């Protein structure tokens, strides 16, 4: 029986999912805190969750430990069972926009594009190289978060800076979270029994963005040249006046790397609240700590401003507004107040439905009075990736 392994590597983690040939998820897990003093392996298999602390000094060692874990628990009995390993890649740069095979040339392209996704791409490349050593004969594919946004028009993807410089350095909006946007769009086509669709999707997690979708294709999205742009996030600032960067450098005696690290890793909800990058931690203090309440107000305002902008961008009837990803799926307060901030349309959430977290893959949370239906759809980019991976070689043959 053919099996598919989906790998989603971050700066210090490898998230994995194993699917059978019927695309049913058989097991999943994550290796965390790679390159830190002590790592964590978490396994979710046979309705049991197992966690183990052990050193994971490199990505190669993490993959070796995953291999041992799979063998010890009988998850993969023989590596000939694995027909394909599919890797999620945040940004393949200007030359890698479509699903492709792992080969030396494409790895070289990824290495050239590290600056475009400095938090994610280094770990992804290390994970790919590790799996090349562990499973050299297994087919491998790359799947890009930027692919879904290839349909964005020139007016939307162009920055108003010197054209010669833009052309030379490929300076443009790429957009991210595309694998999940693609999944959610297809899911909404099933839910509404209609295609194509006009949607605004809010992918609100630690990293967060919005996407305007016309005729089931991306026409604009809030992240840009890198995932730093757009709305405020867990640790990322989102949109700021770029003049802040040299100003901070001058007055705080910081270099450009220090400032960019601050904007990517120490800003957003963490930077404003001084509490946490996790909305759950900030919610716990919302009623007693004015700064926690202010952080959520600022966060929600940034989201709702993009929401009304993208609702206005769509030509014709809008089929739905959709919340997805960790915060979007689980935080009723942020969903409710994001919608309440919209004044130009009559949008209304049913507060009882909105607070009820007992739902399956999706749920309608708007009232009958709402001009546009509002849904929650659980993110599942791994399922989209494995379908894409299976189709890639089928279509080539």
- How many other CB atoms sit within 10 Å of the CB of residue 79? 15
Q: Which of 196, 264, 255 is nearest to 232 (CA)?
A: 264
Residues β-bridged to residue 133: none
Do residues 85 and 67 lie in contact, with contact meaning Cβ atoms separated by under 8 Å? Answer: no
Helix-then-strand count for the chain, H and E: 15, 14
Q: Is the N-terminal amide bond of 196 cis, ω within 30° of 0?
A: yes
145 is catalytic: yes
DSSP-based three-state secondary structure for 227: coil
* Catalytic residue chosen out of the listed positions 44, 104, 145, 255: 145
Distance of CA 76 to the CA centre of its chain: 27
CA distance to 120, 252, 330, per residue, from 333 (Å): 30, 36, 9
Instruction: Measure the CA–CA gap between 341 and 202, rounded to whole angstroms.
Output: 15
User: Token pair of 32, please?
Assistant: 């965390």
Do residues 269 and 295 lie in contact, with contact meaning Cβ atoms separated by under 8 Å? Answer: yes
Catalytic residues: 145
């Amino acid at each position: 029986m053919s099996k598919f392994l989906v790998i989603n590597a971050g700066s210090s983690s490898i998230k994995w999912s194993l699917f059978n040939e019927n695309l049913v998820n058989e097991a999943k897990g994550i290796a965390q805190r790679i390159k830190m003093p002590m790592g964590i392996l978490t396994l979710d298999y046979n309705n049991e969750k197992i966690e183990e602390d052990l050193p994971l000094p490199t990505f190669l060692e993490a993959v070796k430990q995953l291999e041992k874990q799979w063998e010890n628990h009988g998850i993969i009995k023989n590596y000939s069972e694995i027909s394909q390993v599919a890797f999620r890649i945040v940004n393949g740069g200007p030359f890698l926009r479509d699903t492709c095979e792992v080969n030396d040339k494409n790895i070289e392209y990824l290495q050239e594009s590290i600056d475009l996704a400095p938090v994610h791409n280094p770990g992804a490349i290390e994970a790919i190289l590790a799996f090349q050593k562990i499973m050299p004969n297994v087919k491998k594919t790359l799947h890009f978060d930027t692919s879904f946004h290839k349909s964005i028009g020139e007016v939307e993807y162009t920055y108003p800076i010197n054209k010669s410089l833009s052309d030379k350095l490929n300076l443009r909006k790429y957009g991210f979270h595309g694998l999940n946007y693609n999944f959610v769009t297809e899911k909404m086509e099933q839910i509404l029994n209609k295609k194509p669709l006009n949607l605004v999707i809010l992918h609100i997690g630690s990293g967060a963005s919005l996407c305007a979708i016309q005729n089931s294709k991306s026409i604009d999205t809030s992240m840009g040249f890198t995932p730093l742009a757009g709305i405020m996030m867990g640790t990322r600032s989102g949109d700021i006046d770029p003049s802040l960067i040299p100003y901070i450098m001058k007055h705080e005696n910081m270099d450009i790397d220090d400032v960019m690290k601050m904007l990517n890793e120490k800003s957003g909800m963490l930077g404003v609240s001084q509490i946490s990058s996790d909305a759950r931690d900030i919610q716990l203090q919302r009623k007693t700590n004015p700064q926690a309440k202010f952080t959520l107000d600022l966060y929600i305002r940034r989201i709702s401003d993009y929401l009304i902008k993208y609702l206005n961008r769509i030509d014709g009837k809008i089929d739905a507004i959709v919340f997805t990803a960790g915060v979007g799926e689980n935080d009723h307060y942020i969903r409710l107040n994001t919608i309440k901030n919209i004044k130009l349309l009559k949008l209304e959430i049913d507060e009882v439905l909105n607070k009820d977290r007992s739902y399956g893959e999706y749920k309608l949370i708007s009232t009958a009075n709402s001009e546009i239906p509002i849904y929650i759809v659980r993110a599942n980019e791994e399922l989209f990736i494995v379908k894409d991976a299976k189709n890639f070689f089928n279509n080539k043959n």
